């Protein structure tokens, strides 16, 4: 066995993040580590990479006990980690990013030619072609992911930890990454992937270990399990298989017509966007982050003035209106960034819960405290929000629990139109099931929903119509019946546009 982590326990005071966890890795194996938010996956890998120290337990590498006190020691033991958010410099070249920390020199100077030569040799050795002289900022996310992997290979890693490796990739890029991983595994490299995408686990992994509440609930050979069993091991119960009813389409609730938004130097961030959302339907917008989805949301919600075009909500022009005015006209908004736009971190659970309700729930200038507390209590129970008490500041909540609070708050406003931007980002599979059910319930009650998600499976599962955005334009539109992952992926990558 290449790696054996035995009886690993990690406690933070009374909180047990890992409890007597056993985890192993063979040479040339791809081993997936899955579990809900807070299950202990990342903590376990941070221990392996030397970023955390176990409270108890031992790690063996090739049969010998080791103590890894920091990432430098992990690299010395030939362990590398590719984090969820890439740790690269966009202004550097590919070669410069790969060799940083172990740069070839000529005398006292950085030897750029030797760096390029080494990177070219590395790319050839592992059959991962990429131009060493290309600026990283000009590389798509799929190539940046490849640079991160080449970087850990350059530093000699035999064990490579990947944290949510496909989270920012298009489906096509994700498939390319799977090919790369399998190719490297065939050359003797070993992978541990932290992920929540069970279909990808079934496609790429040799074995899978499931954590729940810091404990191992099972380790399976991939040929001896399925998505249903893994889901059950993750959440401790059977998940409900949601089957949306046929949409009962009503009147147009949102109409966006020919809108243009210009950025620096006149570049069009949104270029002639046209779309409508009708009562009783979910319109999904797919696309890689950074292709205009955020700007579109901001323009509709009153957070960003447009340069040209029209936006009508319930047949009223909302261009130039404030966020408060737009919300009062009938808009609820689950924002894509829960911390920057969805919550006040220093505020309590109660204070964050009643945002947007306070004006409608006051009498003679005084808040109706019991009514609001009861409302938040109902959300906490319905969405299984682990908050301790309503007086707890939300900065102490996990990201997934804060997300559930925001989703509950915005759906319960019961407005005719809802923007749901990354509604399940950072939540576990059980909470995802609940949020999906609530979105479909709102749609079935004639709500109009604009769904923006980087999770293509979520778009395909919930949407009645699907739009794809690429470089500020609508690259294509499909009905749910005609939508295929391949066509959407092609448009997401900028190919075969039918805008």
Domain coordinates in residue numbering, the chain: 3-235, 252-492
- Tell me which of 239 and 218 has the higher pLDDT: 218
Structural fold of domain 252-492: Rossmann fold (3.40.50)
DSSP run (H or E) holding 125: helix 112-125
| Domains 3-235 and 252-492 agree in fold | yes
Q: Is the pLDDT of residue 74 over 80?
A: yes
Please tell me the least confidently modeled range out of 111-120, 243-252, 262-271, 458-467.
Answer: 243-252
- Which of the pair, 321 or 129, is modelled with greater confidence? 321
* pLDDT for residue 362: 55
Q: What does the pLDDT average to over 163-172?
A: 76
Alpha-carbon span 59 to 332, nearest angstrom:
49
Round to whole Å and give the CA distance between 253 and 312.
8
Q: Which of 326-335, 368-377, 378-387 has the lowest mean pLDDT?
A: 368-377
Taking CA atoms, 221 is separated from 26, 31, 114, 208, in Å, by 12, 9, 43, 7
| CATH code at 3-235 | 3.40.50.300
Rounded mean pLDDT, 444-465 = 92
Per-residue confidence at 299, pLDDT binned at 50, 70, 90? Answer: very high
Please write the tens of the pLDDT for every residue from 250-295.
Answer: 999 999 999 999 988 888 999 999 999 999 999 999 987 778 999 9
Q: Report DSSP state, residue 239.
A: P
Looking at residue 241, what is its pLDDT? 65
Q: Is 48's pLDDT higher than 90?
A: yes
Separation between Cα atoms, residue 299 and residue 257, nearest integer Å: 12
3-state secondary structure of 192: strand
Main-chain phi, psi angles of 229, to 5 degrees:
-65, -40
Tens of pLDDT, residue by residue over 304-343, are: 999 999 999 999 999 999 999 999 999 999 998 888 888 9
* Average pLDDT value for the chain: 88
Confidence of residue 499 (pLDDT cuts 50, 70, 90): very low
């Amino acid at each position: 066995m290449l790696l054996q982590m035995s009886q690993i326990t990690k406690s933070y005071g009374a909180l047990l993040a890992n409890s007597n966890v056993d985890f192993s890795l063979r040479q040339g194996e791809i081993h997936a580590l899955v579990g809900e938010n807070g299950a202990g996956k990342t903590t376990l890998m941070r221990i392996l990479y030397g970023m955390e120290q176990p409270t108890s337990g031992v790690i063996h590498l090739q049969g010998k006990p080791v103590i890894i006190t920091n990432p430098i020691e992990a690299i010395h033991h030939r362990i590398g980690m590719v984090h969820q958010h890439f740790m690269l410099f966009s202004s550097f070249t590919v070669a410069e990013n790969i060799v940083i920390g172990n740069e070839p020199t000529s005398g006292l100077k950085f030897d750029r030619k030797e760096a390029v030569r080494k990177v070219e040799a590395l790319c050839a050795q592992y059959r991962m072609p990429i131009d060493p002289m290309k600026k990283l900022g000009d590389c798509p996310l799929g190539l940046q992911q490849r640079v991160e992997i080449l970087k850990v290979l350059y530093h000699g890693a035999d064990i490579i930890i990947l944290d949510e490796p496909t989270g920012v990739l298009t489906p096509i890029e994700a498939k390319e990454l799977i090919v790369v991983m399998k190719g490297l595994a065939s050359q003797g490299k070993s992978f541990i992937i932290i992920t929540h995408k069970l279909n990808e686990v079934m496609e790429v992994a040799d074995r899978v270990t499931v954590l729940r509440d810091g404990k191992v609930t099972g380790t399976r050979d991939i040929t001896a399990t399925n998505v249903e069993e893994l889901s059950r091991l993750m959440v401790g119960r059977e998940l409900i298989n949601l089957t949306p009813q046929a949409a009962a389409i009503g009147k147009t609730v949102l109409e966006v017509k020919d809108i243009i938004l210009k950025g620096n130097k006149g570049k069009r961030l949104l270029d002639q966007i046209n779309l409508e959302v009708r009562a009783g339907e979910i319109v999904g917008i797919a696309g890689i982050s950074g292709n205009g989805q955020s700007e579109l949301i901001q323009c509709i919600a009153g957070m960003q003035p447009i340069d040209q075009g029209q936006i009508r909500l319930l047949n009223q022009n909302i261009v130039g209106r404030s966020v408060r005015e737009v919300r009062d006209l009938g808009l609820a908004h689950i924002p894509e960034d829960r911390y920057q736009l969805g919550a006040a971190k220093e505020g309590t659970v109660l204070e964050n819960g009643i945002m947007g309700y306070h004006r409608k729930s006051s009498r003679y200038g005084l808040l109706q405290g019991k009514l609001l507390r009861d409302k938040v209590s109902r959300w906490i129970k319905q969405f299984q929000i682990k908050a301790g008490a309503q007086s707890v500041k939300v900065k102490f909540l996990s990201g997934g629990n804060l997300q559930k609070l925001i989703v509950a708050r915005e759906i319960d406003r019961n407005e005719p139109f809802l923007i749901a931007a990354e509604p399940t980002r950072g939540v576990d599979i059980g909470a995802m099931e609940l949020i999906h059910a609530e979105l479909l319930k709102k749609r079935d009650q004639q709500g109009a929903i604009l769904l923006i998600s980087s999770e293509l499976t979520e778009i395909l599962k919930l949407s009645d119509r699907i739009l794809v955005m690429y470089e500020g334009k609508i690259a294509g539109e499909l009905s749910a019946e005609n939508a295929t992952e391949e066509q959407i992926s092609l448009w997401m990558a900028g190919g075969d546009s039918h805008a």
